[in-house]
A and B are shown apart, each in its own frame.
Chain A
Amino acid sequence: MSTPILDASFALNVALLLMLVAIAFAVVRTRSLLAAILLMSVYSLASAAWLMVADAADVAFTEAVVGAGVSTIVLLGAILLARGETERVNWKLMIVPGVLAAVVGGVLIYAASGLPNYGDPASPANSHVGRAYLEATYRDIGAPNVVTAVLASYRGFDTLGETVVIFAACIGVALMLGFGSRATLAPPTEIPNDQHVVLRVVAKLLIPLIVLFAFYVQFHGDLGAGGGFQAGVIMAVAIILHALVFGLRATMAAVPVSLARSVAALGVVVYAGVGIVCIINGGGFLDYDYLFSPRVEAMIPANLLGDPNHVHHWGQHFGILFIEIGVLLTVSATIVTMFYGFAGRTIETIEAERRT
């Protein structure tokens, strides 16, 4: 059976993957950690562009905000605290890993022969459960974005687990680095006094727009690409931009540490709470069809979303909406807490080192 490989798509696929390989080699080669981080941010951008070629719009969205945005900033914060900007090279230590990587790589490439061709529609991965989701989603849930539907409804329990993991990481970073609250107590240290008026004005203009855009991504998530994870990260990026331009102290006055901490927990509570409400109303955990009791469901006007003829699954609509809000709260608060931890520790460490 011949599969029609669309030439433009395939050429773009190859070009972007070659870019990724080139960047990866540059990362391996460079001894400067700063250059490695910078190249990783370019790597994320290129891989996100590749994800668009491979039709993974939601993943590209996430990779763009997370890979290019948050992980670069977290890595910069870590380098700042670790004070090491170049790694030392020991060529003798390169031989064994090099041989090992070559051998394992060879074996894996050999094994890859057994994998289905790129774009094979009849491969086992594409022909069973993925197809079933595509066929059932509109009937069961009524949301056009199958990715959001699977994420929030079919695999809602899984996503709850992921949210809890993110929350746990938040606690872990906060316990190890502190909540950054002591940063506000430390006396200000001098940095070079350059004039960044343009940046301050543009940041002032952009921050509300970014927050607005985060809400759009949040509530548009079951119609187009987007959802709670992406919106949460975008929201956090707005707060991080504020901290970068106006200083951590000003940001901590606007978004206090205690607020971020409790919101991170609140998100998980909202998510799990939706599941519990479903149990109370007679369904299973996170079975959104039971989110509203029949009496409540009858009160929802049929033309709430326009189109009164279409059979709406209000429980599914609102269940997805609520748990996405929970995800948004946890993710954004977690990333803000992490940023506070990394950026806020700087001053403490400097102070502590000055004293000793």
Chain B
Amino acid sequence: MTWLASHFNYVVVVILMMAGLFIVFSSGNLIKRMIGLAMFQTSTGLFYITLSKVSGGTAAITLKADSETGRALAAPLDPAYVAQFGVDGVVYSNPLPHVLILTAIVVGVATLAVGLAIAVRVREAYGTVEADEIDALSRVAAEQAEPAP
């Protein structure tokens, strides 16, 4: 039970990642695949942010050490804990994964758009976005594959 409590986030990350992976593998629709890929990417983000969380921490926008907010944040925590892991009397979460994921999200939407643009061009060239139909068409087995109306 304590294992589940302390590793719950990782379990959820894996479930979401596998949901994305399942969509990418099982769906023949190129656009649904891009949705699956987006979900997969989000789960990676969740993983990084999970690692960066520090108990009792706050967002990495630094406060003045003697500010009222800083003291209020440190009040419920053990002073020894704050002294060991805090910076100037305030405990912060790790900012580095935030930086990585922040840019990854914006790059992610840009690549999503590129993938979708490719899907659109595939639709215009083949008349369908279903992968199996595209396969059939490109094998020049036209009588086996009816393009979607």
Contacts and interface: CB of A to CB of B under 8 A. Distances in A.
Do the two chains bind?
yes
Contact of A55 (B18, B58, B119): B58
B95 A134 contact: yes
B29 A47 contact: no
B11 to A, nearest CB: 6
B134 interface: no
Given A50-B46, A59-B45, A112-B10, A172 B117 contact: yes
B7 A4 contact: no
A47 B42 contact: yes
Given A47-B42, A87-B29, A151-B99, A74 B113 contact: yes
15 contacts: A17-B9, A24-B20, A28-B23, A33-B32, A55-B58, A56-B97, A59-B102, A74-B116, A115-B10, A120-B55, A126-B94, A155-B99, A166-B110, A170-B110, A342-B117
Interface stretch (A92-100, A195-203, A251-259, A267-275): A92-100
Interface in B94-115: 94-99, 101-103, 105-114
Nearest to B56: A4
B39 to A, nearest CB: 6
B23 to A, nearest CB: 6
Nearest to B122: A82
Interface in B25-76: 25-32, 34-35, 38-39, 42, 45-46, 49-63, 76
Contacts of B103: 151, 158-159, 162, 229
A119 B53 contact: yes
Looking at chain B, what size class is its interface with the partner chain?
35 or more
Contact of B18 (A77, A102, A135): A102
Interface string A50-73: 110011111100110011001100
Contacts of A146: 60-62, 92, 95
Nearest to A130: B94
Given A54-B49, A81-B120, A146-B95, A27 B39 contact: yes
A172 B116 CA distance: 11
B29 to A, nearest CB: 4
A20 B16 contact: yes
Given A17-B12, A229-B106, A147 B99 contact: yes
Do most interface residues of chain B lie in helix, strand or loop, or is the interface mixed?
helix
Contact of A224 (B50, B61, B110): B61
Given A79-B31, A94-B26, A104 B117 contact: no
A278 to B, nearest CB: 20
A293 B5 CA distance: 54
A345 B52 CA distance: 42
Contacts of B111: 165, 169
Nearest to A30: B32
Contacts of B54: 55, 119-121, 126
